[in-house]
Structure 1
């Protein structure tokens, strides 16, 4: 194992840091988070605020 500043590094460590050509980045994950947020925030607000409606 290579010695890095007094610490032994696992042989797969450089592979974890490498970026491959197939890596598409945070696109799909970020898109999913945004869609869930755009749907979930209004639904949560509606659910929480419906209790404050005037009851005539």
Structure 2
């Protein structure tokens, strides 16, 4: 299996009341299917991050 470089994304938690709510985090992400689909979970509240954009 060929290694690829990660895609840099900006993840922002939008969960009301989370201590990380509204904070932008630049994170390396790898797509899990083709076409690329990215999934992230907030490290503070454990909820899915739905606000992911390319960095």
Scaled to the shorter chain, the TM-score interval is: under 0.3
Relative to total residues, which structure has the larger strand share, 1 or 2? Answer: 2
Q: Which has the larger radius of gyration?
A: 1
Q: Which structure has more RCO (C-alpha within 8 Å, separation ≥ 6)?
A: 2
Relative to total residues, which structure has the larger helix share, 1 or 2? Answer: 1
